[in-house]
Amino acid sequence: MTSKELTAQGIAALKEGDKQRAHELLEEAVELNPNNAKAWYFLSRVQTNVADKRTSLNTVLAIMPDNQLAKDALAKLDDEEADDFESEFVDEPEPVVQEEPKEKSHPSFQAYESMSGVPPALGSLPRMGLGSGNKTRIGNLQVPVGIEDAPETSDPQTIRNEFVQTFKNGYEILRRTPDVYLMEVQRASWWRFWQFAIIALTIGAVVSSLAGFILQTQIAGTINSSPFVTEPVASPSVFSMFFSMILFLPLNILLLYVGIYASYWFVTTRRAGQASFARHAYTVMLPVLTAGLIIDIANLVFAIAPLLGTLVAIALLVLWVYSLYIAAQGITMIHSVDDNSGYWSMAMFAIATFLVGLVLSPLLLTAGLV
């Protein structure tokens, strides 16, 4: 079934009042054809999350910049949804898009950006969406800081499901599955960024600290069993493992921020990139943190059962470098710059994180992170 047919069925389901069915059909329609403006518009009519609605409407404007219905819907996004349908949009011609283009080129996201299209001065860059927006309540707990585009409430199951889905998409991005990167970046928001980053880095903190604890215990045991050792080496304590977990999260958030900030500064000031800071951060985060989480889990596995330690370490290093390469292609895509600009931008990411890591190396060593 084509995207156009799914859109027609989704609109029909929406008119009949079956919003859940309409949501399923329209989501499938935009997955088949991300340039289906009509499907994105009606998808916004059945979405309950404000950030998702804004993403869908911005996508309409990316495809059809002069569409007044999408502009009006964005202007009154917080109002109650109108009962009638905009019949003129239904009749509006869809943009001509080949179902299976012979050649793929990098799509332009310039019209899609929520910002003005002109990159802000370095000193006025947004603080990664923190300090504004809702302090989301998750069950009985409330997020201590406001996050831009965050919903007022959420629940653990929804957050878990969204994290798993984003991780799967990140994995498919590393596998270079066609169109997944494009579709996932279209959902970019600071809420989605922090939701994935915090969970991924928290899991990384646990498994990395545990892997370090196991490895240090094994090393201490090997040394102490040697007949040439006169004074036994103390094994690591459980306290040191928990201390490592506590330090891991803020230090790696800092490294991630510095790297993203440096790469964004380079591509916008030296290569005339046009994407917003939020979209840039989300584009870099997807492959890099997904690869990082895979590396952390692999390190834990081989700490428990060391087999080909050196070769595995090299393979994991290659995976990290590969994730930077994929992120560079994402930067090229969203900023509409040449490939070399994307590569240099991620080189700035790597250099910045290395230099800051070098400065923080005493803390990183204490935490067992390097």
The 3-state DSSP class for residue 134 equals: strand
Q: Residue 152: enclosing H or E segment and its boundaries?
A: none
Could you give the angle at the alpha carbon of 205 between the alpha carbons of 200 and 208, nearest 5°?
115
User: Which among 124, 155, 145, 255 has a CA at the least distance from the CA of 190?
Assistant: 145
Q: Tokens at residue 48, please?
A: 């309950």
Look at residue 74 in the predicted model and tell me its pLDDT.
77
153: left (phi over 0), alpha (psi -120 to 50) or beta: beta
Q: Residue 363: enclosing H or E segment and its boundaries?
A: helix 361-366
Q: What is the pLDDT along the chain (370 residues), one digit of tens a residue?
A: 788 888 889 898 888 888 888 888 998 888 888 888 888 889 988 988 877 888 888 888 878 777 778 777 877 675 544 434 444 455 444 444 444 443 333 343 333 333 333 344 444 445 788 887 889 998 888 998 899 888 889 889 989 999 999 999 999 999 998 778 988 888 888 999 999 999 999 998 888 878 777 777 766 676 667 666 666 666 667 776 777 777 788 888 889 999 999 999 999 888 888 788 888 999 999 999 999 999 888 878 777 665 555 666 788 889 999 999 999 999 998 888 888 999 999 999 999 999 988 887 776 555 444 4
Q: Domains in the chain and their CATH numbers?
A: 3-81+91-103 (1.25.40.10), 180-366 (no CATH)
Tell me, rounded to whole angstroms, the distance of Cα 188 from its chain centroid. Answer: 7
Look at residue 342 in the predicted model and tell me its pLDDT.
92
Q: pLDDT digits over 146-199, tens only?
A: 998 888 898 899 899 999 999 999 999 999 987 789 888 888 889 999 999 999
Q: Tokens at residue 131, please?
A: 């300090």
Is residue 10 within 8 Å of residue 26, measured between CB atoms?
Answer: yes
Look at residue 347 in the predicted model and tell me its pLDDT.
95
Tokens 């603080």 belong to which residue?
Answer: 127
pTM above threshold 0.85: no
| Long-range contacts from 212-218, C-beta under 8 angstroms, 24+ separation | 212/236, 212/241, 212/244, 212/303, 212/368, 212/369, 213/238, 213/240, 213/241, 213/244, 213/368, 214/300, 214/303, 214/304, 215/303, 216/368, 218/303, 218/306
CA-CA distance, 352 to 209, in Å (whole number)? 24
CA-CA distance, 291 to 307, in Å (whole number)? 21
- Residue 13: Cβ within 10 Å count: 20
